[in-house]
Amino acid sequence: MPALDSALLSVLSSAGVAGIFCILFISGLIVSKATHDEVKAQRDEYKRALDLERARSEASVVTGQIVRDVMTSLRKELE
Protein backbone atom coordinates (compact mmCIF):
# COMPACT_ATOMS: atom_id res chain seq x y z
CA MET A 1 0.00 0.00 0.00
CA PRO A 2 1.58 3.33 -1.03
CA ALA A 3 2.32 5.82 1.69
CA LEU A 4 0.11 8.91 1.61
CA ASP A 5 1.25 12.30 2.84
CA SER A 6 -0.70 13.30 5.95
CA ALA A 7 -1.69 16.63 4.38
CA LEU A 8 -3.01 14.87 1.28
CA LEU A 9 -4.80 12.36 3.46
CA SER A 10 -6.55 15.07 5.47
CA VAL A 11 -7.56 16.99 2.32
CA LEU A 12 -8.96 13.89 0.67
CA SER A 13 -10.81 12.71 3.74
CA SER A 14 -12.41 16.13 4.22
CA ALA A 15 -13.59 16.02 0.57
CA GLY A 16 -16.24 13.46 1.52
CA VAL A 17 -17.14 10.40 -0.51
CA ALA A 18 -14.97 11.40 -3.47
CA GLY A 19 -11.98 11.83 -1.17
CA ILE A 20 -12.54 8.47 0.48
CA PHE A 21 -12.83 6.90 -2.98
CA CYS A 22 -9.53 8.50 -4.00
CA ILE A 23 -7.82 7.18 -0.85
CA LEU A 24 -9.14 3.67 -1.48
CA PHE A 25 -8.15 3.83 -5.16
CA ILE A 26 -4.62 5.07 -4.39
CA SER A 27 -4.15 2.42 -1.70
CA GLY A 28 -5.19 -0.30 -4.16
CA LEU A 29 -8.34 -1.41 -2.36
CA ILE A 30 -10.45 -0.35 -5.36
CA VAL A 31 -9.36 -1.45 -8.83
CA SER A 32 -10.61 -0.48 -12.25
CA LYS A 33 -12.86 -2.72 -14.34
CA ALA A 34 -10.07 -3.14 -16.90
CA THR A 35 -7.71 -4.42 -14.20
CA HIS A 36 -10.40 -6.76 -12.90
CA ASP A 37 -11.08 -8.09 -16.42
CA GLU A 38 -7.35 -8.60 -17.00
CA VAL A 39 -7.00 -10.61 -13.79
CA LYS A 40 -10.08 -12.63 -14.69
CA ALA A 41 -8.68 -13.43 -18.16
CA GLN A 42 -5.35 -14.44 -16.65
CA ARG A 43 -7.13 -16.70 -14.14
CA ASP A 44 -9.07 -18.37 -16.96
CA GLU A 45 -5.82 -18.90 -18.89
CA TYR A 46 -4.25 -20.55 -15.82
CA LYS A 47 -7.31 -22.79 -15.43
CA ARG A 48 -7.01 -23.94 -19.05
CA ALA A 49 -3.29 -24.63 -18.59
CA LEU A 50 -4.03 -26.61 -15.44
CA ASP A 51 -6.69 -28.66 -17.23
CA LEU A 52 -4.21 -29.45 -20.03
CA GLU A 53 -1.57 -30.45 -17.48
CA ARG A 54 -4.05 -32.76 -15.75
CA ALA A 55 -4.95 -34.36 -19.09
CA ARG A 56 -1.26 -34.93 -19.86
CA SER A 57 -0.77 -36.46 -16.43
CA GLU A 58 -3.70 -38.82 -16.86
CA ALA A 59 -2.40 -39.84 -20.30
CA SER A 60 1.00 -40.60 -18.80
CA VAL A 61 -0.56 -42.82 -16.16
CA VAL A 62 -2.53 -44.75 -18.78
CA THR A 63 0.61 -45.09 -20.94
CA GLY A 64 2.54 -46.41 -17.95
CA GLN A 65 -0.15 -48.98 -17.24
CA ILE A 66 -0.16 -50.15 -20.86
CA VAL A 67 3.63 -50.48 -20.90
CA ARG A 68 3.50 -52.46 -17.65
CA ASP A 69 0.86 -54.79 -19.06
CA VAL A 70 2.84 -55.34 -22.28
CA MET A 71 6.05 -56.04 -20.34
CA THR A 72 4.21 -58.48 -18.08
CA SER A 73 2.77 -60.28 -21.10
CA LEU A 74 6.17 -60.50 -22.79
CA ARG A 75 7.82 -61.83 -19.64
CA LYS A 76 5.12 -64.50 -19.23
CA GLU A 77 5.58 -65.59 -22.86
CA LEU A 78 9.34 -65.89 -22.42
CA GLU A 79 9.02 -68.09 -19.33
DSSP state of 3: -
Helices (H), ranges, 1-79: 6-14, 17-27, 33-78
pLDDT for residue 63: 93
Domain boundaries, the chain: 1-30, 32-79
pLDDT for residue 2: 57
4 alpha-carbon distance from chain centroid = 30
**Per residue of the chain (79 residues), what is the pLDDT tens digit?**
456 677 776 776 677 777 777 777 877 777 888 888 999 999 999 999 999 999 999 999 999 999 999 999 998 888 7
pLDDT for residue 38: 92
